[in-house]
A and B are shown apart, each in its own frame.
Chain A
Amino acid sequence: MSPAASSLGKDLVGLEDLDAGQIRSILDTAEPFKEISERKIKKVPVLRGKTIVNLFMEPSTRTRISFEFAEKRLSADTVNIAASGSSVQKGETLVDTARNLEAMKIDMVVIRHWASGAAGFLADRIPSNVINAGDGSHEHPTQALLDLLTIRDHTGRIEGLKVCIVGDILHSRVARSNIFGLLKLGAEVGVCGPRTLLPAGIGELGVTVFRRVEEAIEWADVLNVLRLQLERMKGGYVPTLREYNRVYGISTRRLEAASGETLVLHPGPMNRGVEIDSDVADGPHSVILKQVTNGVAVRMAILYLLAGGAPEQAEAAKQEGVG
């Protein structure tokens, strides 16, 4: 029998819904997809004839392009829809938009939306596969998966590792998805940030809270530095950017003061000189561009695992060597 990967079901809405086996299966499936992007002809015919709609109701460059590369390298046909310039501006609801797309016979929707829960809402209402590319402050599962893959690439494991997420935990879907994924794979998770940007009761999730970034760096094997969402400034969560950098910014000086090697991740886009200093972002601790490369492989793996192969069609994988 050829071994089969764990089934993910119809949709990928969040890591909260997956078990450790399913998460590991995605990471393992991403491995062979890394190599396809190194080929001269970067294309395999897995999703030939499938139509995928990238429905981006919120600005995104990296995630949208990463999904688009992943889709194209698997030979899918893709359509991009942004909020501006679409009928959304004319007041069409999300479900109506999706139903109209379905009427044109599509197979998958990749959705980025400003509202928490939008991806799950859509997944429950349309038969196409739905992939969450970030919904409000809920989850951003593909970002967390590419973070996990990058960490695993560099340390060889997730289990037992100490990972600290630094910055705006309160509003961050990246933080939430990372916490779910890391805990399920057996990592110890810490968070560090201004009190105003830590959700109440965060300790109940099973994470350690660090008040001082120096302590967090000393404790952690891996730092995942989040973008300080500048729109939060207006909300009065942070006094000034300078102040934030002075207290929480990741600098070479702080990294060198800690014992041991620290791996530094950042989901981008970076505010250089705010949450992370340029010499760290471009320095030996940083794996930020590796994250971007891995993002394409992880998304290819998810598209591969979700497309086709509906559970009701499941039959024992064919005998190996039959061909």
Chain B
Amino acid sequence: MVSGSERVTILNEDAVRRTLSRMAREIVEVNEGTERLILLGIQRRGKELAERIREEIQKSEGVAVAHGSLDITLYRDDLATVGPRPVIGESRLPLSGIDEHAVVIVDDVLYTGRTVRAAMNELMDWGRPSRMHLCVLVDRGGRELPIQPDVVGRKVQVQEHQRVDVLVPELDGRLAVELVTTSPEAA
């Protein structure tokens, strides 16, 4: 982490759990059940969040929901300019495919909307879902594309020199959402 940065917890572990549990109920609600539902987490933290939402749905509805992960690196619109080539993660879709299924894209933070654009393009190359929904833990505003989420955990106002970090135990050792403020010279 950059020195000279300040972290404030927006959601602690319990708050993230409660939020994910509500988001799970909302997903079932907007899809009117769990039939032909697929949860697709965007690599890397979206995938871990999708896994938790899946467990919540399984607990409350008593059914196993199909799930997978999506790496959007090869569909990024800035690949020619990002410099060092990003490492490509794994895309794993359910064996049933996604044709005629209701796909819920799960990601940690929604910002410019470019990741979601890439995810939608990638999914269109995989098949033809009957519908797609977008589910994010944090909406921090700042959209550059006309994309809006259907299920949101928390809206956060973000100022200049601030960013939102979603932390998951698998990658960061804990579950939390934090607002990070970096001093201009450190940023």
Contact = CB atoms under 8 A, between A and B. Distances in A.
A41 interface: yes
Contacts of B166: 321
Contacts of B84: 4-5, 7, 309, 314, 317
Interface in A267-320: 304-305, 308-309, 311, 313-320
Contacts of B71: 32
B81 A3 contact: no
Interface string B82-120: 111111111100000000000000011111111110100
Interface string B156-167: 000000011110
Contacts of A28: 87
Nearest to A33: B88
B111 A2 contact: no
B127 A40 contact: yes
A320 B116 contact: no
A37 interface: no
Contacts of B122: 44
A230 interface: no
| Interface residue range, chain B | 35 or more
Interface residues of A, number: 34
Contact of B112 (A4, A35, A41, A322): A322
Interface in A6-53: 7, 28-29, 31-33, 35, 39-41, 43-46
Contacts of A40: 126-127
A323 interface: yes
A5 B86 contact: yes
A323 B116 contact: yes
Contacts of B112: 322-323
B167 to A, nearest CB: 10
Interface string B38-65: 0000001100000000000000000000
B79 interface: yes
B91 A35 contact: yes
Given A321-B166, A323-B115, A323-B116, A3 B83 contact: no
Contact of A323 (B118, B127, B164): B118
B125 interface: yes
Contacts of A32: 71, 88-91
A50 to B, nearest CB: 9
A255 to B, nearest CB: 35
A2 B44 CA distance: 9
Contacts of B121: 45
Given A321-B164, A323-B112, A323-B114, A315 B126 contact: no
B74 interface: yes
B67 to A, nearest CB: 17
Nearest to B45: A321
Contact of B87 (A29, A321, A323): A29
17 contacts: A7-B84, A28-B87, A29-B88, A40-B126, A41-B125, A44-B74, A45-B74, A46-B74, A305-B85, A308-B80, A309-B81, A317-B83, A317-B84, A319-B163, A321-B45, A321-B165, A322-B112
Interface of B: 44-45, 71, 74-75, 78-91, 107-116, 118, 121-122, 125-127, 163-166
Closest 5 pairs between A and B when the two form their complex, measured CB to CB: A323-B115, A314-B83, A4-B84, A308-B80, A321-B109
